[in-house]
Structure formats: structure tokens, C-alpha cells
Amino acid sequence: MIKVGIIGSTGYAGAELVRILLGHKHVEIKWFGSRSYIDEKYANVYGNMFHFVTDTCLDDNLEELAKQVDVIFTATPQGYLAGVLTEEILQNTKIIDLSADYRLKEVEVYEKWYNLKHKSPQFIAEAVYGLCEINREKIKQARLIANPGCYTTCSILTAYPLVKEGFIDVNTLIVDAKSGTSGAGRGAKLPNLFCEVNENIKAYGVTTHRHTPEIEEQLSYAAKEQITINFTPHLVPMNRGILATEYASLKKIKQTDGSMGYPTYEQIRAAYDKYYKNEYFIRVLDKGKCPETKWVEGSNFVDIGFQIDERTGRIIMMGAIDNLIKGAAGQAVQNMNLLFDLPEKEGLQLVPMFP
């Protein structure tokens, strides 16, 4: 059994991690960390866990914890892990960090977008960006995994094959994303009250959302050039789910007859299949279908659809995930499976729940 510690186990992502790990055959949770609920019974914080978890919440103590467990998940605010991580800790355990501390390779970019001083930039280089479908092999070797953000997972995977294949003009890429409210966390903040969110939709963080440089960095690797995009998140009155609607101008490519022309449906579909055909967690939908967040709720799937607009020469790509699963805890477990050479799907063969 793999011994697991969770720091930040009482946030929504931490709780989802607990829920998923309870169904994982090879795992034992040893430490339910929570600064806010020290000494409280975990099942009092999350009533759904009654009879499943009898543990009490513990304070965080990464150094001590690292000696006791094989892997630590940190579902903590930005800056926490960077503030406490040491080489000794990494020699004792593996870490899967659900925060943004090690996602961006350039410390200046991190410090600018997060408005935080990075306390341990020395670990940035070795951290592996845990987008499993893209970085699988590197993840297997890592000590420190930077688990991707929810918006970024969805945004990147939806566009990745077309960026990689050079089918779209990457600098025309616009990501208009919509998220359920669990993405905002369990903090008691006025804008997240039921009456403020319900019957309402709004954009927020327009041009300034912190997932922007993360998407840009990863897609730049794929494009092999530095790209800049627009990313606009919206808050939707639902608990779970992210839908990313992405727009980009198609590039003319060489067709079989030698002429230059826009890629056809079949060519684009083939590009998706090239990268995703064997990816269990990515479902490229049939022609004409648009993904719905409800069809992936409760699962680790990414559903992807697309539509070509010949009138404008653009493609509209759409991706849907459950933000707490593929966008956070599920992908973290997928990373853990890779790290420990377990079947990648273990604990994650969740059928989406409808309605």
C-alpha cells in the first residue's frame, strides 16, 4: 500500500482527492492535513465522509510528514509549498502539488502573475508539469509534480493536437472558459454565496487570470514558438464543470494534390486521433457533437468537439472536464499512478454521473 498524506484536505480539491483515494486499491491515507480544522473530525467537515473517514484533521508539518508517507499531495494556497519545500523533504517522499508554485518555468512570470515572491525557485527546474497525456514519461521519473490548473488542463488539451500539427495560427487563439463555482474554493467569501452566484453569469479576471501564462507556456512548447493568447474565465451557477470554447484561425496546409488549403474535417479529426486515440481519459466526440460538462461530471474525462467555420476560416474547439477531477484531484491521482508505476486508470474508472 502506498502511504499518502494530504495537506489541505478540507478544501474542495482536497476533499475530492480523499473521495477518489477511498476507491483506490493501493492507497492508504495517513494524514488529513488542514490548517483550518485542526483536531476536528474530518467527517464533521464533510458529512459525506461519515462512516468512511474516522480520522481527525492534523496541522501541516511537511518535514515530519515526508518521513511517514510515500507521497504528499499539497492542495494548498499559492506560495505554501514554495515556502516550506526542502531537498530533504524531496529525498524522503514524492510531492504532487495542486497549487501553482512549480507550474511556470520562469520565476519572473510566476512572481508577476501571482504577485508573490517565490521562496524556493531552485526546485522549479526539476518540477514536472503533470499534464499526464503530454508529459507521461517525464512524470514517471519525477520527485516533484506540478499538477496543472483546472482551466489550463481543459484549455491545453482541447487545442493541443492542432497547435502541435501547425493547423492553427496560434496567436489568434482565444479561450473563452466557463467554470462551476467549486473552482473558487470553499472559502467563505461574499462573491461565492449562493445568492450571488445563482441566476447569474459574469466574466472575471479578464486579461489578468493567472492560468493565462500557464496555458501560454505549455502551448508554446507544442508550437515551438512563444505564443500569447486571450483567456477569459466566467463563473457559472453550477457546482462542477469547466467548458472551454476556443477560437483560432486555421492555417492553410499542403493538401494531397499539392495545393495549399484549409485542413478538412477529416484532417483535423485525424490530428486529434493521432494524439488521443489511445488516451483513455480523452474522448473526442463524434462529428457535430458539442461537449457538455454534465457528460463528464464525476469522471476524469476530457470531452472534446470541434466545428469548422468556412465562412470565417476559423475553427471552434470545445473541451469539457470536471474541474475537481481531471482539473485537480483526478489528474493528481493519475500522476500518482504514473509515479508509482500503477495502472494509470486505477481509482479513476469513474463513469460520469447523469443527471
120 grid coordinates: 524556493
Residue 23 CA to residue 5 CA, distance in Å, equals 16
Tell me the CA distances in angstroms from 312 to 111, 160, 240, 245, one per residue in order. Answer: 38, 21, 33, 16
- Contact stretch for its own copies (CB under 8 A) within 18-26, 92-100, 151-159, 326-334: 18-26
The one-letter amino acid at 170: V
Q: For residues 333-352, which are near its own copies according to CB under 8 A?
A: 349, 351-352
The answer to whether 154 is a known catalytic residue is no
Residue 299 backbone phi and psi in degrees, to 5 = -130, 175
Nearer Cβ to its own copies, position 38 or 206?
Answer: 206
Ramachandran area for residue 9 (φ above 0: left; ψ -120 to 50: alpha; else beta) = alpha
- Contact stretch for its own copies (CB under 8 A) within 81-89, 130-138, 185-193, 252-260: 185-193
**CB-based burial label for 288 (10 Å; 0-12, 13-18, 19+):** exposed
Residue 30 backbone phi and psi in degrees, to 5 = -105, -15
Q: For residues 60-119, which are near its own copies according to CB under 8 A?
A: none
Q: For residues 273-292, which are near its own copies according to CB under 8 A?
A: 283, 285, 289-292
Is there binding between residue 237 and its own copies (CB under 8 A)? yes
- Contact stretch for its own copies (CB under 8 A) within 87-95, 106-114, 134-142, 299-307: 299-307
- Which one of the listed residues 57, 150, 154, 195 is annotated catalytic? 150
User: Site size for its own copies, by CB under 8 A?
Assistant: 81
Per CB under 8 A, the list member of 39, 199, 257, 266 interacting with its own copies is 199
CA 75 remoteness from chain centre = 12
Q: How near is the Cβ of 200 to its own copies at its closest, in Å?
A: 4
Nearer Cβ to its own copies, position 44 or 141?
Answer: 44
Q: Which residues are catalytic?
A: 150
